[in-house]
Amino acid sequence: RFEGVSMAPPDPILGVSEAFRADTSDVKLNLGVGAYRTEELQPYVLNVVKKAENLMLERGENKEYLPIEGLAAFNKVTAELLFGADSPVIQQGRVATVQSLSGTGSLRLAAAFIQRYFPDAKVLISSPSWGNHKNIFNDARVPWAEYRYYDPRTVGLDFEGMLEDIEAAQDGSFILLHGCAHNPTGIDPTPEQWAKIADLIEEKNHIPFFDVAYQGFASGSLDADASSVRTFASRGLELFVAQSYSKNLGLYSERIGAINVVCSSPDAAARVKSQLKRIARPMYSNPPVHGARIVANVVGDPNLFNEWKQEMELMAGRIKNVRKRLFDNLSEKDNNEKDWSFILRQIGMFSYTGLNKAQSDNMTDKWHVYMTKDGRISLAGLSLAKCEYLAQAIIDSFYK
């Protein structure tokens, strides 16, 4: 009876790692998935995570089920980290926070909520965006459309196009925004641009839906990276924010994150939360505890919190160094023919190189550099030592 099942296509991002593993070359480089590596290109477990895990062992914590909404201590600190502990939305108890299965699971929960309570609404997604966004809304049966975001001519933001498309969308649409370090382009609006986007969204009665997967990773500052979200929250708007600790705490496989819904009253927040729990219950019953305890321990303890910030600066700093070195090597090898400075202007884990599919194929087939076919490379998986090799591969592929 399963004979009729067809083969699913590989995931365009996670499939790159599979292809990388199958390559036997010793110069191969995996710049596909956005996962932080050390200068030795090894995965990194943060010291604060190890310390938090030791604390958990010492305390002899048990493995009982969590409530459907997750660990109370986690939900408290995660919302405070995002909005700021003194923010009116926190002080007034207007945020419904539910721990979920990292960023992806939190987005999926919100998508199910939208499908149930706003069946006629569309979600607007940036073009391009993280590939899984469309899958998530498709599977939740939420219709979506795209808004212009990336301008290939400037390798920058198509701000006018973005505003036009948000303006043209039906009133009351959900506008999916990357809180910081836009994936895949590495291009974020400036604070002035964010304010204009907020004006327009407010005017159009749209509902902002932030995806925050890189808080602290873009600039190295947790507060600065949350400023887009805080700009919108301070205007009294209702909004969604999905959070992930995969990158900033390196908890990729622990699946820890949250969905936050800012409501207009504490009462509405309580009702929204009850409905999110109702959606979670038949999907996965309740979330895992391990990552939630790590976050609660790290964010909730002043010493560990400070140490975390230092480790995050270290990670963000290493990526910035690699960015600079890659830019230098490219400019040098290219005899300053092309202006590569867009690489320095992009932020976060990725660089969007502008290489097309054929050029990206050349990177992989000839140079054993594994990357997604949209021309995105993960600088988090690059070392200073490999920048020169990568620059050579990019120049060769670019002028093909």
Q: Which residues bind ligand TYF (CB under 6 A)?
A: 11, 13-14, 33-34, 130, 132, 183
Residue with Cβ nearer ligand PLP (137 or 367): 137
Give me the least distance between CB of 136 and ligand TYF, in Å please: 10
Give me the least distance between CB of 105 and ligand TYF, in Å please: 11
The letter for the amino acid at 310 is Q
Which partner from the list ligand TYF, ligand PLP, none does 294 bind, CB cut-off 5 to 8 Å by kind?
none
Of the candidates 122, 158, 194, 247, the residue annotated as catalytic is 247
Residue with Cβ nearer ligand TYF (13 or 166): 13
Contact 383, 40 (CB under 8 A): yes
Which partner from the list ligand TYF, ligand PLP, none does 78 bind, CB cut-off 5 to 8 Å by kind?
none
- Prior bond of 88 cis (ω within 30°): no
Residue with Cβ nearer ligand TYF (84 or 250): 250
The letter for the amino acid at 378 is S
Which partner from the list ligand TYF, ligand PLP, none does 11 bind, CB cut-off 5 to 8 Å by kind?
ligand TYF
Of 172, 177, 203, 196, the closest CA to residue 125 belongs to: 177
367 is catalytic: no
Give me the least distance between CB of 255 and ligand PLP, in Å please: 7
Interface residue list for ligand PLP (CB under 6 A): 34, 102-104, 130, 178, 183, 211, 213, 244, 246-247, 252, 257
The letter for the amino acid at 189 is P
Which tokens is 151 given? 């301008």
Which tokens is 26 given? 């010793």
Which partner from the list ligand PLP, ligand TYF, none does 16 bind, CB cut-off 5 to 8 Å by kind?
none
Which partner from the list ligand TYF, ligand PLP, none does 13 bind, CB cut-off 5 to 8 Å by kind?
ligand TYF
Residue with Cβ nearer ligand PLP (102 or 362): 102
Which partner from the list ligand TYF, ligand PLP, none does 173 bind, CB cut-off 5 to 8 Å by kind?
none
Residue with Cβ nearer ligand TYF (36 or 240): 36
Bridge partners, residue 97, by sequence: 260
> Whole-angstrom Cα distance, residue 207 to residue 174?
5
Nearest 10 degrees: Cα torsion 109, 300, 302, 227: 30
144 is catalytic: no
Tell me the CB-side half-sphere exposure of residue 254, using CA atoms within 13 A.
22
**Phi, psi at residue 24, to the nearest 5°?**
-95, 0
Residue with Cβ nearer ligand PLP (258 or 393): 258
Give me the least distance between CB of 129 and ligand TYF, in Å please: 10
Chain residue at closest Cβ approach to ligand TYF = 34
Give me the least distance between CB of 131 and ligand TYF, in Å please: 7
Residue with Cβ nearer ligand PLP (133 or 318): 133
> Whole-angstrom Cα distance, residue 279 to residue 98?
11
Give me the least distance between CB of 304 and ligand TYF, in Å please: 25
* Alpha-carbon 114 to chain mean position: 20
> Whole-angstrom Cα distance, residue 114 to residue 260?
13
211 is catalytic: yes
CA distances from 394 to 156, 245, 319, 389 (A): 19, 31, 18, 9
Of 107, 149, 145, the closest CA to residue 283 belongs to: 107
Of 309, 275, 351, 287, the closest CA to residue 74 belongs to: 287
> Whole-angstrom Cα distance, residue 177 to residue 297?
29
3-class DSSP assignment, residue 127: strand
Which partner from the list ligand TYF, ligand PLP, none does 33 bind, CB cut-off 5 to 8 Å by kind?
ligand TYF
Of the candidates 130, 144, 340, 367, the residue annotated as catalytic is 130
Give me the least distance between CB of 227 and ligand TYF, in Å please: 21
Query: 280: which residues sit within 8 A by CB, 6+ positions away?
Result: 68, 69, 98, 100, 109, 286, 287
Residues catalogued as catalytic: 130, 211, 247
